Every structure is written in C-alpha cells, then in structure tokens.
Structure 1
C-alpha cells in the first residue's frame, strides 16, 4: 500500500522551544557546529489503492485543515513516500 508523507514545521518567525532546547543540548555535548535546530512533525497516511491526483489533493487539504495548526505551523510537503 502506498504512503503519503506530510511534513509540518513551526512557522519560521515563531520561537521553537523544543528546537532551542535541543540546540543547547547539542552545544553542551560538544556538537557546536549546529547553530539552530527546528523540530516539526511527520505524518504518514497509508492509502488503499492507487495514489491519484485527487487522492493527493485530498491529502493536501487534510494536511492544511486538520493535521496542522495554520496559526503556528506550515505544511512544507505532501508527497508519496519512496518505498
């Protein structure tokens, strides 16, 4: 069965407290080359049958309306996973 992957990230202009905490931890552990970490979420939607343009459009709509909070997050990609 094909899988559609939705990637959601916090809006760039907003503070990412989880990312900031990880950035600090990396520096304390000696990994100072990484100056900024942003943490988002990945959602996998398993599709029964073929992924048509209509199914992909429906997944984009679901990503925008249900899977993300448009006030604080951006849907950065909706695509069929390479498996």
Structure 2
C-alpha cells in the first residue's frame, strides 16, 4: 500500500474512532493502519495536527524528520458520514 493511501485510510478510520469511542471495530481498524504506517513506511507519532474548514493536516515523524500531509476534510470525513447514515451501524 502506498504511503499516501495508508495515511488517508488511517485518517478516515481515526475520525470514525474519535467520533465513536465505543466502536471496537473502528479502534481495531485504526490500529491495523497504524501498524502499516509504522512497519511498512517507518513512520512514528502519526497524528492529526491541524484542522480548518477545508483541510486536515496529518503530521508524522519519518527517519527523524517531521513531515506533514494535507487531506481534503470533506473527503476524509466521508466514511464517518456513511457510517452515521446507515442505521445498521447505529
């Protein structure tokens, strides 16, 4: 899995896990993507650092260097909206 894809997947499920703290599946999935980021891409301290009306900034450490990636907020929040809209998951 490419780094950008893994970061985006982690970000989406992180937003779900934050919004739904009782959702064990979300926490387990977040852990899975965090493991990919750590083991496959050698990232540390991955976190949502900044949010504004249109963008989410994910920061992380890679080989001792702090880096950041920006993602469209609406796109990143789509999974959470989809879950909230499906009565099966509520």
The TM-score, its normalising length taken from structure 2, stands at 0.31
1 or 2 for the larger relative contact order (CA 8 Å, sep ≥6)?
Answer: 1
